[in-house]
Amino acid sequence: MSAGGTGRRMRGVIVVVPARDEEGELPGCLAALHAARSRLAMRGVATNIVVTADRCLDRTAAIARTLGADVVECDAGAAGAARAAGFAEALGRSRLDPADVWLVTTDADSRVPTNWLTRQLSWAARGWDAVAGTVRVADWSAHPPGSAAAFTARYDSWAGRSPHVHGANLGCSADAYLEVGGFPPLVVGEDRALVDALEAAGRRVLRTSALRVLTSARLDCRAPGGFGHDLREQVLTLEAGPATRPRSLPGPGR
């Protein structure tokens, strides 16, 4: 919506996926995004999927092109800058008014549901400027017993308005995004920084658990202090025994 508070019908959607050496995960991510895009195509909404290949040494960029995504190659070394580069490139090519474009982002190791885009546009039509969804971990089999329960207990320990913000499940209108300067070039926390800026600017942000993205529980985390880092801390604590507690379980704000 505009700052005045009226809902609107989006004419275009831009999806950005930052990726660093993700040739193994990217096909599944893009397959899920294409399924979500097909629902918008039936409604006449154009969707552009962009993969930002950030310092990649593998076939991430080539695979993305083969699977129908546009590719922006960069040397950012930071998720925030990579997301920003993807949106800058796509918006620069768009002929639509930013007020008519919805921007969304996810991660290469995540799988969005088929209604991911349609649900967000329905909320935009109701007057929301941004949507911050939640995540669900795909597979705990490689983790110690108790990992899933420990994660759930911490992650769901809230009532009412969700405290979570994830780059794997975030969308906003392009005009709101541009108004606050977009994603900052941070290695971690760029998602929360964007949402904080939108709220400070008076934009309406829907924080909801009604839209969940499936994400991996891998421990080779790419961003210190991010979601994967918190999962690793949890595993180390469980392996050490009940006398210790992780410094930061995945919870509010992650």
What's the pLDDT at 162?
A: 79
pTM score, two decimals? 0.85
80: closest CA among 3, 189, 164? Answer: 189
Task: Give the three-state DSSP class for 236.
Answer: helix
* Angstrom distance (rounded) from CA 229 to CA 223: 7
DSSP class of 220: S
Q: What is the pLDDT of residues 134-166, one digit of tens each?
A: 998 877 777 777 878 877 778 877 766 778 899
What's the pLDDT at 248?
A: 40
- pLDDT above 70 covers a percentage of the chain that reads 82
DSSP-assigned beta bridge partners for residue 130: 172, 205
Asked if pLDDT for residue 179 goes beyond 60, the answer is yes
Q: H-type helices in the chain, by residue range?
A: 26-41, 60-66, 79-93, 116-125, 147-155, 174-179, 190-200, 227-240
The greatest distance separating any two alpha carbons of the chain, rounded to the nearest whole angstrom, comes to: 58
What's the mean pLDDT in 127-140?
Answer: 91
Q: What is the pLDDT of residues 102-113, one digit of tens each?
A: 999 999 999 999
